[in-house]
C-alpha cells in the first residue's frame, strides 16, 4: 500500500470558489477541465505555493496544511512537503547542464543523478544546457530532476502539452511505467482529453472550481454525471427530451425516439449519442411522409458538412429542429452537402446523463 | 600627492563598492519581490541621489552625519572630514545604479523556475544562492560596475562631507580639480590618464569574467 493524498480545501478566487474533496492513491490521477477551472490552483495548494482559505491536506497520515475558521494552524513550507512539480514550460535551471539540473536536489551523493539520467535515457545528453535540448528532452530532464528530489508526490502541470503527438505518447508510456516502478502518487493536470485518456488511471472532471465527477474515463463517457460533464468532455449529439410512455420525446423536434429507458414518466432528461453509433443512409425518391412505427429512431435531415479524417468519414446532418447530428463511420460511404439523408440512432446506444 | 590620492581613491572606491553592492542588492531584492507599504517612497528615496545635485546630497549627509547625530556621538565616531565620510558619500550616490540594474535582472527571472526549486526542497536562501543569484549575475555585475564607477568618480558630495584634505580625504577626482586650479597641468594629465586606465581596466575585467563564464557554458 503506497501513500495516500487526501485533500479537502476551499479557496475564494477571482471569479469563482475552489471547493475540492479528493482522495488520491498511488496512481496517476488526472485533473481534467477547461482552462481557468482551477486545476493549477489545486496543484499550487498541494505544493504550498498557494494557501487555501479553509481545509486540510494530508499525505500518508501527515498533515501538510490545516486551516479552520480562516486561521491557519499547520502550513508546511513547500520544501518540506515532498511534492515535486513538473511544469508545462519545463522550468529547468538555464544556467545548469542536464546533469547539474538533475543533481540539484541531491545533497551529498550526486551519483544518483547519473542513474536517473540513464533511467530517462538522457545519459548521452548529460553535459548539455537546457537551450541545447528539444522540448521532449527538457521535460525528461525535468522529470528526472523531480525524481531526484525523492518526493512522494509528483505534480505535473500540463507537462506534455507543448510537445508533438508522438513524443507525448511516448512520455505518457514512460510515465505509466515510472509510476508502476516507483509507486508514486502522481497528480496530472491537463485540459486535453487525449492526454487524460492516455495518462490516467482515474480522472476528476473539474469545472468552475468544483469536481463534477471522479472515475475512469470509460465510466465518465458511459455514465456522465451531469450536463456540465458532457460539455467538458465535449461529446457531440447532446439531446434534451422528456420521457414518455413509448420513448423519449425529443424537445423541439416533435418526434419520438424509441429508447431503452430508465427514469420516470415526464422527467426531463439530457442524453447523448456517440457519433460512431450513428449511421446515415441515402433516401431514394421523394422526401416526405411521416415516420412509421418501425422507423421510430430514424430522422430525416440535410447534410451540411462532411469531412474525412483518415479512414473515418464524418457527416453533420441538420434535423428539422435545426439540431446538428454528427456521425463518424468507417463504412466508406460519403454524402454530399445539401443531400437529404436518413439518420439512424440505435435506441440502445443513447447514453443518459445521471441527473 | 598623485600616489596618495590614487591609493585613497582605490580605498574609498573598494569600500564603497562593497557597501553599495550589498545594500543595493538587498534593496533591489526587496523591491523586485515584495509589495509593501511605502514602497514608492522607498524607491523615490533610493533614486533621489541620481537627480539631486551632488552638493545637495552632500549637504544632507553633512546634516545626518554631523556632530548632532546622537548615535555617532555615542560611538565617538567622527565621520566628517575622514575617508570613511568619502566612502559613505560614494556609496549613497552609487546605490541607485546598483539597485536599478540588479532589480531589472531579478525581475526577469521566471517565478516558475524559482517555484520549481522550492518544490525540489530548496530553502529560500539556497534558492537565492543557487538559482536567483547566478541567473541575475549579469545585471548584478553591471550594477556593481556602474555603482563602482560612480563611486570612483564621486566629487561633489565627497567635497561637502569629507573636504579636500591632501593625504586624508583628497581622492583622485578632487586632486585633479586641485591640480587644474593651481595650473599644475602635468600632474593633472598624469592623474587623468591614471583614472582612465583604472576605468578601462575595470570594464575589461568584467568583460573577461563574463566571456569566461560564457565559454564555460557553450
- What percent of chain A has a predicted confidence (pLDDT) above 90? 45
Touching check for A128 and chain B: CB below 8 Å?
A: no
Closest approach of chain B CAs to the CA of A280, in angstroms? 51
> What mean pLDDT comes out for the span B49-56?
92
Residues of A in contact with B117 (CB under 8 A): 93, 104
Query: A226-278: per-residue pLDDT in tens?
Result: 888 998 998 888 888 888 777 777 776 666 666 665 667 788 888 888 999 88
Query: B73-98: per-residue pLDDT in tens?
Result: 787 778 888 999 999 999 999 999 99
Of the pLDDT bands very low, low, confident and very high (cuts 50, 70, 90), residue A287 is: very low
Residue A59 CA to residue A6 CA, distance in Å, equals 6
Of the pLDDT bands very low, low, confident and very high (cuts 50, 70, 90), residue A68 is: confident
- What percent of chain B has a predicted confidence (pLDDT) above 90? 63
**Which residue carries 549627509 as its cell?**
B61
The CA radius of gyration of chain B, in Å to the nearest whole number, is 20
Question: How many C-beta atoms surround the C-beta of residue A304 within 10 A?
Answer: 13
Q: Which of A210-219, A237-246, A318-327 has the highest mean pLDDT?
A: A210-219
Residue A53 CA to residue A68 CA, distance in Å, equals 8
**Among A297, A300, A209, CA closest to A258:** A297
Mean pLDDT for all residues in chain B = 89
Query: B149-199: per-residue pLDDT in tens?
Result: 999 989 999 999 888 888 888 999 999 999 999 999 999 999 999 999 988
Q: For residue B212, what pLDDT is reported? A: 63
Among partner residues A49, A84, A94, which is closest to B120 by beta-carbon distance?
Answer: A84
In chain B, residues 92-121 whose CB comes closer than 8 Å to chain A: 110, 112-113, 115-121
> What mean pLDDT comes out for the span A107-129?
88
Residue B217 has pLDDT above 70, yes or no: no
> What mean pLDDT comes out for the span A130-159?
92
CATH 1.10.3720.10 holds for B3-217: yes
pTM for this prediction: 0.82
Residue A292 has pLDDT above 70, yes or no: no
**Among A218, A187, A232, CA closest to A36:** A232
Residue A258 CA to residue B124 CA, distance in Å, equals 65
Closest approach of chain A CAs to the CA of B43, in angstroms? 28
ipTM of the complex, rounded to two decimals = 0.80
Interface touch B119/A93, C-beta < 8 Å: no
> What mean pLDDT comes out for the span A163-186?
90
Residue of A nearest to B121 (CA): A79
Residues of A in contact with B116 (CB under 8 A): 85, 87, 91-93, 142
Query: What does the H/E/C string look like for B108-155?
Result: CCCHHHHHHHHHCCCCHHHHHHHHHHHHHHHHHHHHHHHHHHHHHCCC
Residue A342 has pLDDT above 70, yes or no: yes
Amino acid at each position: 500500500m503506497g501513500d495516500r493524498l487526501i485533500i479537502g480545501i476551499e479557496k475564494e478566487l477571482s471569479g469563482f470558489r475552489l471547493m475540492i474533496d479528493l482522495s488520491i492513491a498511488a496512481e496517476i490521477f488526472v485533473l481534467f477541465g477547461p482552462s481557468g477551472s482551477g486545476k493549477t490552483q489545486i496543484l499550487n495548494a498541494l505544493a504550498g505555493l498557494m494557501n487555501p482559505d479553509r481545509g486540510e491536506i494530508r499525505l500518508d497520515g501527515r498533515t501538510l496544511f490545516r486551516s479552520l475558521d480562516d486561521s491557519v494552524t499547520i502550513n508546511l513550507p513547500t520544501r518540506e512537503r515532498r511534492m515535486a512539480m513538473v511544469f508545462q514550460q519545463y522550468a529547468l535551471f538555464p544556467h545548469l547542464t542536464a546533469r547539474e539540473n538533475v543533481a540539484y536536489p541531491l545533497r551529498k551523493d550526486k551519483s544518483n543523478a547519473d542513474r536517473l539520467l540513464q533511467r530517462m535515457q538522457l545519459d548521452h545528453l548529460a553535459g548539455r544546457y537546457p537551450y541545447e535540448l528539444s522540448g521532449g528532452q527538457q521535460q525528461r530532464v525535468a522529470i528526472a530532476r523531480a525524481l531526484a528530489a525523492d518526493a512522494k508526490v509528483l505534480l505535473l502541470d500540463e507537462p506534455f502539452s507543448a510537445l508533438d503527438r508522438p513524443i507525448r505518447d511516448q512520455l505518457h508510456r514512460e510515465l505509466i511505467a515510472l509510476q508502476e516502478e516507483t509507486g508514486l502518487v502522481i497528480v496530472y493536470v491537463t485540459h486535453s482529453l487525449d492526454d487524460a485518456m492516455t495518462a490516467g488511471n482515474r480522472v476528476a472532471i473539474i469545472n468552475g472550481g468544483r469536481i463534477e465527477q471522479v472515475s475512469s474515463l470509460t465510466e465518465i463517457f458511459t455514465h456522465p454525471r451531469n450536463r456540465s460533464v458532457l460539455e467538458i468532455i465535449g461529446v457531440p449529439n447532446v439531446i434534451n427530451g422528456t420521457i414518455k410512455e413509448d420513448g423519449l420525446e425529443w424537445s423541439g423536434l416533435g418526434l419520438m425516439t424509441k429508447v431503452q429507458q430508465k427514469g420516470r414518466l415526464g422527467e426531463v432528461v439530457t442524453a447523448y449519442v456517440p457519433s460512431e453509433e450513428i449511421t446515415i443512409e441515402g433516401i431514394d425518391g421523394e422526401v416526405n411522409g411521416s415516420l412509421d412505427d418501425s422507423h421510430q429512431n430514424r430522422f430525416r435531415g440535410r447534410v451540411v458538412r462532411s469531412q474525412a479524417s483518415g479512414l473515418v468519414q464524418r457527416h453533420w446532418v441538420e434535423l428539422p429542429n435545426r439540431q446538428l447530428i454528427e456521425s463518424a463511420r468507417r463504412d466508406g460511404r460519403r454524402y454530399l452537402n445539401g443531400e437529404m439523408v436518413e439518420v439512424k440512432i440505435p435506441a440502445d446506444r443513447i447514453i443518459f446523463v445521471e441527473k | 600627492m598623485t600616489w596618495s590620492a590614487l591609493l585613497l581613491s582605490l580605498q574609498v572606491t573598494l569600500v564603497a563598492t562593497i557597501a553599495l553592492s550589498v545594500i543595493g542588492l538587498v534593496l533591489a531584492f526587496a523591491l523586485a519581490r515584495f509589495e509593501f507599504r511605502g514602497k514608492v517612497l522607498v524607491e523615490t528615496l533610493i533614486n533621489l541621489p541620481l537627480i539631486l545635485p551632488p552638493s545637495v546630497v552632500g549637504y544632507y549627509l553633512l546634516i545626518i552625519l554631523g556632530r548632532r547625530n546622537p548615535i555617532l556621538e555615542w560611538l565617538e565616531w567622527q565621520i566628517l572630514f575622514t575617508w570613511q565620510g568619502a566612502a559613505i558619500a560614494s556609496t549613497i550616490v552609487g546605490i541607485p545604479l546598483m539597485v536599478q540594474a540588479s532589480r531589472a535582472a531579478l525581475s526577469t527571472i521566471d517565478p516558475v523556475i524559482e517555484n520549481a526549486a522550492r518544490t525540489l526542497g530548496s530553502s529560500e536562501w539556497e534558492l537565492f544562492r543557487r538559482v536567483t543569484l547566478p541567473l541575475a549575475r549579469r545585471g548584478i555585475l553591471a550594477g556593481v560596475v556602474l555603482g563602482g564607477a560612480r563611486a570612483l568618480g564621486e566629487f561633489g558630495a565627497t567635497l561637502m562631507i569629507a573636504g579636500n584634505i591632501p593625504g586624508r580625504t583628497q581622492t583622485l577626482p578632487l586632486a585633479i580639480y586641485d591640480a587644474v586650479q593651481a595650473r599644475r597641468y602635468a600632474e593633472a594629465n598624469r592623474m587623468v590618464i591614471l583614472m582612465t586606465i583604472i576605468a578601462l581596466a575595470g570594464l575589461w575585467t568584467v568583460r573577461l569574467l563574463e566571456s569566461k563564464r560564457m565559454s564555460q557554458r557553450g
